[in-house]
Amino acid sequence: MFQAISPAGNTSDSGYHPTYGLWIALDADIRIATEDTSFWLPEPQWGIATIPAAWFPKIMPWAIASELLLMAGRVDARRAYEVGMINRIVPADRLMEEAERIARRFCELSPAAVQGMKESMVKASSLDYRALDQITQHVQTRVMNSEDRREGARAFREKRQGTWPGR
């Protein structure tokens, strides 16, 4: 399966998310939901085999993937949090505030470092340890030789927030 490597991102969810809403939410790196959020894939009850079924067991426990995919079961926000499908649950009136807080945090960090770590995570998700070591070495070398790394060292020495060139 093709998997694009894109910048890290977050999504915030509120309410009822069947089918494509669930896929979109689970494609984010950081997932925030409100207490009333639920996740559901109704396709089996309509005679449809959902397209991304193969990658669900990679992003959630097998039993939860089976519940969603094989039984068209629903998972509420609390259960989704407990099994690692989402990062946190917030009150509905704080959803956008929390999403913006996380977005601001991303903006404070080195784009080269964050992108490098995400690249490693994506590429490594289906590899053996030897291949993982090769990817880690490649990404680590690129990031350690980046302008962002040099700026990070200067900012640390000068006790200030980095101004990231993104390269």
With residue 11 as reference, give the H or E element that holds it.
strand 10-13
Number of Cβ within a 10 Å radius of residue 39: 26
pTM of the predicted model as reported, rounded to 2 decimal places: 0.69
pLDDT computed for residue 19 by the predictor: 55
pLDDT in tens, 30-68: 999 889 888 888 877 777 777 667 778 878 899 999 998
- 161 alpha carbon, distance to own chain's centre: 25
For 49-76, letters b (16+ CB in 10 Å) and e give: ebeeeebbeeebeeebbebbbeebbbbb
* Three-state SS at 100: helix
Percent of all residues in the chain with a pLDDT value above 90, rounded to a whole number: 23
Q: Six-digit token pair at 12?
A: 């915030």
Is the pLDDT assigned to residue 69 strictly greater than 90? no
Determine the residue type at 56: F
Helix orientation angle between 111-124 and 147-157, rounded to the nearest 10 degrees: 130
Tokens, residue 32: 């925030």
Q: Give Cβ neighbours of residue 5 (< 8 Å, ≥ 6 apart).
A: 115, 118, 119, 122, 123
Looking at per-residue pLDDT, the higher value among 51 and 15 belongs to 51
Give the model's confidence band at 9: pLDDT under 50 very low, under 70 low, under 90 confident, else very high.
Answer: very low
Q: Predicted confidence band at 2 (pLDDT cuts at 50, 70, 90)? A: very low
Is the model more confident about 62 or about 133? 62
How far is residue 81's CA from residue 76's CA, in Å, rounded to a whole number? 9
| Banded pLDDT at 109 (limits 50, 70, 90) | very high
Phi and psi (nearest 5°) for 65?
-60, -40
* Residue 73 structure tokens: 């079961």
| pLDDT score, position 7 | 40
